């Protein structure tokens, strides 16, 4: 599972997500998270865990299921990180990025969108797919003609965590959509089966 939890107290963020308050949004995110994530699941948070008063955010974060691996974001100050980790022993801070290998596919997990592959790489396992948060976009793909930079944040997933299998399926579908738009592509071997 890959997900970005954001306790932003700004109306311009929670209102487009369909909520009238930060409290309503946080409750919905916790419910949706726990609907999908079981107690022993490993889940990655790709930064900006909380933006509002940290003491108001901690009870929501404590209610989250799973063993959480936290990739830091631009709003994750040392003070916030310390307070959240002290209150939540199920959270492990990873740092600014992490490589993840899943079924012969390589993923670069970061808060920030990052170009990670050469366009001329001929095999999928030579490509590194970037999974990111940060942008608050409503679509999964930051660049419509590049299926290898994928947004996992709450804004493009109806405030649910996104499963790695869903990510792979979305990338595969986008890759084939691009080929129908006449954008040159190289074979994806694993994805073409």
Q: What is the pLDDT of residues 143-171, one digit of tens each?
A: 888 888 999 988 888 889 999 999 999 98
| Domain carrying residue 113 | 2-192
What is the number of domains present in the chain? 1
Q: Give the domain CATH number at 63.
A: 3.60.21.10
User: Cα torsion for 92, 94, 98, 102, to the nearest 10°?
Assistant: -10
Render pLDDT for 55-89 as a digit per residue (tens, 0 to 9): 888 999 999 999 999 999 998 899 999 999 999 99
């Amino acid at each position: 599972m890959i997900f970005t939890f954001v306790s932003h107290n700004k109306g311009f963020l929670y209102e487009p997500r369909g909520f009238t308050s930060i409290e309503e949004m946080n409750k919905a995110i916790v419910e949706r998270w726990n609907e999908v994530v079981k107690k022993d699941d490993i889940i990655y948070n790709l930064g900006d865990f909380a933006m509002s008063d940290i003491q108001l955010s901690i009870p929501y974060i404590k209610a989250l299921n799973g063993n959480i691996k936290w990739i830091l974001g631009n709003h994750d100050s040392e003070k916030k990180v310390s307070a959240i980790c002290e209150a939540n022993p199920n959270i492990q801070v990873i740092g600014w990025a992490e490589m993840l290998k899943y079924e012969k596919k390589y993923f670069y997990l970061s808060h920030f969108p990052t170009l990670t592959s050469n366009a001329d790489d001929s095999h999928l396992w030579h490509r590194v797919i970037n999974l990111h948060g940060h942008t608050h976009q409503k679509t999964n793909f930051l660049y419509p003609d590049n299926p290898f930079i994928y947004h996992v944040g709450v804004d493009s997933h109806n405030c649910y965590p996104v499963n790695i299998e869903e990510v792979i399926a979305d990338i595969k579908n986008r890759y084939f959509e691009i080929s129908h738009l006449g954008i040159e592509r190289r074979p994806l071997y694993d994805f073409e089966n």
